[in-house]
Amino acid sequence: MTGPDPLRAELCDLADAVTPVDLYERSLHRSRRIGRREAAVGTGAALVALGLLGSGLWHLPSAGPAMERDSVAAPASALAEAPAAGEASSIADPPDRPEATRASRPDRPRPASTAPQARSTSLGDLPGQVFYEDKSAERRLVRLTHEGDADTVLSARHSTVGVSLDGSRIAYVTDGRLMVVSTAGGEPEQAYPGTASAEQAPAWSPDGAQLLIDAAEPGVLDVATGRLTPLPSGLEGQHFRWSGDGSTLVYATDGCGLEVAGATALSGTPVPDQSGTEGPAACRPVSVDATGDLVTVQLQPSAAAKPTEATADAVLDTVTGDIVDLPVSGKIIGAVFDANGNLLVRSVRDGKTRLWLFAPDFTLLLRAREPTALNGLDLIAYTR
């Protein structure tokens, strides 16, 4: 390595690895999307201003009596937490979610403060299927068998992957193509030709008929027909995830905040008060419970730099923004919901890795040592 300008030569050499692509249409598409969002923001701001003027709220004393919390607390929080003007569309267009669930939620089950007794300590009693990803050079996907072995179900090179909620199929992105393959084996089939993956791993709908993917912009792909329906422009975000019942989408904004939207809503609403998470909750929601009330997220600071790589380490209430305290010993290194709202948590303590399975009411169904064959892999899915 000699020469008059060696560092620059090395950088040039490295830059040669990038493949030329046509970005004209993509940039126009994105430009139009930004324009729609800006228009929505302008309209929303105008509506808010008109609303305030019309209601006379603008002349109320700032330190007035506490307002009726049930009716205004959530929107006020949402307004306060909106990190940027770009999210203002959600203010103008209220969320398509039941208002009754927006207040504090003493009715919701929460874990006991101390570690409960597990109903089973045998890994063989685990009713669902657990999937792990080897993010080393091999980049393979494995399934934990009841015998405690790691059964490889995908060895094809891929950048992102999604396992269907019944564990029968895998969607993965390779070289910009979306492929689907059975976990039982067989030849993969191309489901969509042009797919970006960095900000949207393929997410299966609960019935397995659709995939939420990023094809220039996020959209819902009908797997059988190949028809792609773009998400409404008001749903501005990435890393979309379906709730187990299909009623709700949870996703991250560009500013790494969480938003929630009804599956048919035109815009989302920010998860309120994420201050307990030391700022925006997450750059990537990992999995959502049955109804969209709870989501597993990454809180460790290092996750922000590599959101597509980090596993979830906490559960967040999307209604209140609270972090749910899990009665798990050791450090949490993975947490995923299945479609029914069962929560599988992976923890490590003193070099031993354990799996904890909680029912939707946080009854501890199982706590078991994880086989050492899975050391170094990342927990990515728990399915039926």
Partner 1 sequence: MSADAVIDRSLYAHGSFRTPIGTRGMDDARDSAYADFVRDRSHALLRSAFLLTGDQHLAEDLVQEALARTHRAWSRLERPSNAEAYARKVMYHAQVSLWRRPKVAEALPGDGLERHGGRVDDPAEAAVRRITLRRALLALSPKQRAVIVLRYFEDHTEAEAAQLLGVSVSTVKTQSARALERLRTLVPDLRALADAQEAGR
Residue 209 tokens read as: 């008929």
307 in contact with partner 1 (CB under 8 A): yes
Output the smallest distance, CB 162 to partner 1, in A: 16
Nearest-angstrom CA–CA distance, 60 and 24? 50
User: What is the three-class DSSP state of 80?
Assistant: helix
Residue 176 tokens read as: 């910009």
Q: Please, is 373 exposed, middle or buried when counting C-beta atoms within 10 Å of its C-beta (0-12, 13-18, 19+)?
A: middle
Q: Which of residues 311-370 bind partner 1 (CB under 8 A)?
A: none
| Phi, psi of 352, rounded to the nearest 5 degrees | -105, 135
Selected range binding partner 1 among 71-79, 193-201, 340-348, 371-379, rule: CB under 8 A? 193-201
Q: Bridge-partner residues for 80, per DSSP?
A: none
23, 63, 66, 184: which one binds partner 1 (CB under 8 A): 23
Q: Which of residues 262-301 bind partner 1 (CB under 8 A)?
A: 283
39, 46, 53, 84: which one binds partner 1 (CB under 8 A): 84
25, 68, 147, 278: which one binds partner 1 (CB under 8 A): 25
Q: Which of residues 94-153 bind partner 1 (CB under 8 A)?
A: 135, 137-139
Our CB check for partner 1 shows the closer of 143 and 284 to be 284
Nearest-angstrom CA–CA distance, 327 and 98? 29
Output the smallest distance, CB 298 to partner 1, in A: 12
Our CB check for partner 1 shows the closer of 126 and 281 to be 281
31 in contact with partner 1 (CB under 8 A): yes
Nearest-angstrom CA–CA distance, 162 and 201? 6
30, 227, 349, 352: which one binds partner 1 (CB under 8 A): 30
User: What is the three-class DSSP state of 349?
Assistant: strand
Nearest-angstrom CA–CA distance, 226 and 192? 7
Give the count of beta carbons closer than 10 Å to the beta carbon of residue 61: 6
39 in contact with partner 1 (CB under 8 A): no
202 in contact with partner 1 (CB under 8 A): no
Selected range binding partner 1 among 26-34, 145-153, 205-213, 260-268, rule: CB under 8 A? 26-34
Our CB check for partner 1 shows the closer of 29 and 146 to be 29
Task: Please name which of 176, 211, 216, 210 lies closest in space to residue 193, comparing C-alpha atoms.
Answer: 176
145, 159, 247, 300: which one binds partner 1 (CB under 8 A): 159
Nearest-angstrom CA–CA distance, 339 and 165? 6
16 in contact with partner 1 (CB under 8 A): yes
153, 256, 328, 380: which one binds partner 1 (CB under 8 A): 256
H/E run at residue 260: strand 258-262
Rg value, the chain, Cα: 22
Our CB check for partner 1 shows the closer of 149 and 175 to be 175
Output the smallest distance, CB 25 to partner 1, in A: 6
Task: Please name which of 270, 299, 241 lies closest in space to residue 95, comparing C-alpha atoms.
Answer: 270
Output the CA–CA distances (angstroms, integers) from residue 226 to 116, 172, 182, 229, in the order listed. Answer: 47, 15, 17, 10
Selected range binding partner 1 among 13-21, 61-69, 114-122, 321-329, rule: CB under 8 A? 13-21
17 in contact with partner 1 (CB under 8 A): yes
58 in contact with partner 1 (CB under 8 A): no
